[in-house]
Chains A and B, each alone.
Chain A
Amino acid sequence: MKNKIKNDLILVGVILLLSVLSFGIFKALLRPGNSVVVLVNGEEKHRFSINEDLEEFIVTDGENSNTIVIKDSEVWVVHASCPDKICASHAPIKNEGEAIVCLPNKVVITVTK
């Protein structure tokens, strides 16, 4: 039984070590992107450089609107006309492949190369 508890502790150690390692690998794979692409209904509507600050740009499509801000090479949504406001509470994004999605307004904001 004592031996088994020792093995259990080794197991926990290995699990934590592996997860720290994988975290490091994934973190290293993340690279800051260069442009911000705004898709509305799946079509590219706007493209900005992430390195140029942009104050309160309003993406509109009919009655729907999402207001985005680019600052310090990060992009986020400050206001959304949709009821759930999930995109507006999303943390700023800056790395390649990251995205903020507003499902009700069919707006996707992604960072690309």
Chain B
Amino acid sequence: MKTKRLVLLGVLAACTMVLSYLETLLPPIFQAVPGIKIGLPNVIIVFILYRFSLKDACAISLIKVLSAGILFGNAMTLLYSFSGAVLSLAVMFILKKTEQFSLVGVSIAGGVSHNLGQIIAAIFLLQSAQIGYYMIVLAISGVISGTIIGLLGAGLLKSTEKIKLFNQIN
């Protein structure tokens, strides 16, 4: 049982890498504002949060941030995505616990808080609170990307429901 879980998580970690790479090939959503992405690998993180556990989601998220940061980013983007990932996982976990929101709602909150985490990191790094008014753009993009991620995540959860392997892990 433990080995199956480990292997599945390893495959999923690899999936986040593939999706991170795939995303670098996509055209940017808003040409005017650089750095706004859908965050495709987060489909996997949401999926793990629902199908596995918070602990596993944190672990894979950390692997994703570190390896994608090293491969496709730099020290600065790594720091931004780390603070975004921490905040979004915490928010998603709490909202999921309340059982008041659907997966899409949880994912939207995750998308927005991911951007909020990055803004907070930028305020500290650049020592300027004025980036704060950029938040409105990031809130809207967070809602849009969170919806896309949520719908994809819900689809992934549903389509793996009947796969025996995924049901034997817990």
Chain A residues with CB under 8 Å of chain B are: 1, 3-5, 7-8, 11-12, 15-16, 18-20, 22-23, 26-27, 29-30, 95, 97-98
Complexed CA–CA distance, A26 and B139 (Å): 15
Besides A8-B105, A8-B108, 6 other A-B contacts (C-beta < 8 A)? A3-B100, A7-B105, A15-B108, A18-B139, A26-B133, A95-B130
B128 touches A4 (CB 8 A): no
Minimum distance in angstroms from B96 CB to a CB of chain A:
11
B-chain residues with CB within 8 Å of residue A19 when the two chains form the complex: 135-136, 138-140
Q: From residue 118 to 153 of chain B, which have CB atoms closer than 8 A to chain A?
A: 128-130, 132-133, 135-136, 138-140, 142-143
Q: Bound state CA distance, A72 and B113, in angstroms?
A: 38
Interface size class of B (residues with CB under 8 A): 20 to 34
B104 within 8 Å of A (CB atoms) = yes
Select one of A8, A16, A30 contacting B130, CB under 8 A.
A30
Please report the C-alpha to C-alpha distance between residue A5 and residue B139 in the assembled complex, in whole angstroms. 19
Nearest CB in chain A: distance from B136 CB, A: 4
Please tell me if the beta carbons of A26 and B105 are within 8 angstroms of each other in the complex.
no
- Give B79-125 interface residues, CB cut-off 8 Å to A: 100-102, 104-105, 108-109, 112
Task: Tell me the total A-B contact number using a CB cutoff of 8 A.
Answer: 61
Given A12-B108, A16-B140, A23 and B102 contact (CB-CB distance below 8 Å)? no
Chain A residue nearest in CB terms to B104: A8
Cβ B143 vs Cβ A1 within 8 A: no
Once the chains bind, are B101 and A4 in contact (CB under 8 Å)? Answer: yes
Q: Are A11 and B128 in contact (CB under 8 A)?
A: no
Q: Are A4 and B130 in contact (CB under 8 A)?
A: no
How far is A22 from B109 in the complex, measured between Cα atoms in Å? 17
| A5 engages B102 (CB within 8 Å) | yes
B29 to chain A, nearest CB (A): 17
What are the residues of chain A within 8 A of B140 when measuring CB–CB? 16, 19
Chain B residues contacting A22 (CB-CB under 8 Å) are: 132-133, 135-136
